[in-house]
Structure 1
């Protein structure tokens, strides 16, 4: 597909998605939202794409959130059915997504990162949900996800003040997996490579079970997970045979993703 505000590249089984509005700190306007939703739809449907990385163009911003200039001009706050950036309400995506946060991640931009499975941040990255400072609220899942990730009091400390959190503080809070001084996209690729060394069927089954288990007790989750779609698919897959066979033969597995 041809996009105006999003760049897409594929490196083997990895899709790299770049929000490409650096002149606006990669804030999302209506067209960018629509493009990202289609990009994630295509990633979800492509059997040969097993992991995605999302990042922002330039050195200053990952995503500054919603385009407030568009709203001020009467454009409103409409987002796609799958949520901010086409991802924050994509609860059925079992494939892993990595956020390579290369700068400011504010408002909806932070909520995109919160919706990802792994977050790698440049040392100059900054995170915040500043919506109350402009008369709004974090309506793209931040209000729900942040307390789950860092606890109620620390989440309230961020959300009720809109204060900014550095990459190092985000790491200490558990919002970030790694902070890097060099190329954050290279670091995200390294994480993707580690994921791709595993069976994509197992990765999807694990992600699905973990996310569903967040709303269940341990006893409920452990008894129900055998019936989850990705788990059932994994258990009858060629990969479930290939993994043990490769281990026995002392070689790298040749994952098929089916």
Structure 2
């Protein structure tokens, strides 16, 4: 049974399911509830036998603007409770990305607009990526005083250490053309053809034997990315630790106030 939530929509056009992040008024920024709904959507796609491949895209003008910063800064009077919550949030994102990597059906990301932070992580966890001209890609976390810990190992896994260092340390997004040149995006197409091209690729994948596709994805993950799960866990710890710092408090609040951060 295919699920549906207010912010995560699923449409099935056999043999392909299209999962759309639909919180366009917030540039599809991910709340904790949306991350959980995405995980449920993956589970439903996995169990739906008639679905053989999946397209992941965003509604509106953005693919995904990362985590919901308003939710990130929300906290209580108990620092230990906040620390536990930050750890749970990092683990939740790690688990979502791992479930995308482990899904035995190919995932094609149709990147319709900017993909940053956790949104860039979703792109990296997809198997094949088609992007529109407006699809910037990057990791602004250091300018917010936090760390893209869960996404960093995936970026190095896909691109190598050098390009990953540049993207992570400069916090400067790259254009869709540069993302295509570096291998983040596999194809660039016009926005009006984006979903159709992603759907066409998904159908090409779906023409293969399900067992072969499953074994191929597992082989790639267990050979090229043999240590990836351990690295993602280490990244989740780093992301949660960064949230305990004064820099994170300053950076996230500055973002909400729409002003430059003043680092301690």
TM-score normalized by structure 2? Answer: 0.76
Segments of structure 2 that go 5 or more residues without pairing to the other structure are 76-81, 227-264
Q: Distance in 2 between matches of 1:26 and 1:177?
A: 22
Contact 1:53 1:100 in 2 (8 A): yes
Q: Select the structure that is richer in helix.
A: 2
Aligned CA-pair RMSD = 1.8
Contact 2:24 2:59 in 1 (8 A): yes
Q: Choose from 154, 178, 185 the match for 2:195.
A: 185
Contact 2:112 2:132 in 1 (8 A): yes
Q: Which residue of 1 aligns with 2:74?
A: 73
Runs of 4+ in 1 over 4 A off after TM superposition: 75-78
Q: Which residue of 2 aligns with 1:221?
A: none
Q: What is the aligned length?
A: 213
Q: Distance in 1 between matches of 2:200 and 2:217?
A: 19
Contact 2:53 2:203 in 1 (8 A): no
Q: Which residue of 2 aligns with 1:88?
A: 97
* Larger RCO: 1 or 2 (CA < 8 Å, sep 6+): 2
Q: Choose from 38, 41, 52 the match for 2:40.
A: 38
Q: Distance in 2 between matches of 1:82 and 1:89?
A: 10
Q: Which residue of 1 aligns with 2:261?
A: none
SS of 1:188's partner is helix
Q: Which deviates more, 108-117 or 90-99?
A: 90-99
- After superposition, give the CA deviation of every residue in 1:201-243 in whole Å (9 maximum; x if it has no partner): 2111111111111146xxxxxxxxxxxxxxxxxxxxxxxxxxx
**Computing the radius of gyration over CA atoms, which structure comes out larger, 1 or 2?**
1
SS of 1:26's partner is coil
TM-score normalized by structure 1? Answer: 0.77
Q: Choose from 156, 159, 173 the match for 1:150.
A: 159
Contact 2:115 2:138 in 1 (8 A): yes
Q: Which residue of 2 aligns with 1:17?
A: 19
Q: 1:215 to 1:61 in 2, by over 3 A?
A: closer
Q: Distance in 2 between matches of 1:37 and 1:203?
A: 20
Segments of structure 1 that go 5 or more residues without pairing to the other structure are 217-258
Q: Distance in 1 between matches of 2:74 and 2:6?
A: 21
SS of 1:160's partner is helix
Q: Which residue of 2 aligns with 1:196?
A: 206
- After superposition, give the CA deviation of every residue in 1:19-75 in whole Å (9 maximum; x if it has no partner): 0100000001122112111111111222222111110001x2000010001112339
Q: Distance in 1 between matches of 2:213 and 2:116?
A: 29
Q: Which residue of 2 aligns with 1:237?
A: none
Q: Distance in 2 between matches of 1:89 and 1:203?
A: 17
Q: Distance in 1 between matches of 2:90 and 2:17?
A: 21
The 5-angstrom pairing of residues 155-170 of structure 1 reads 155-170=164-179
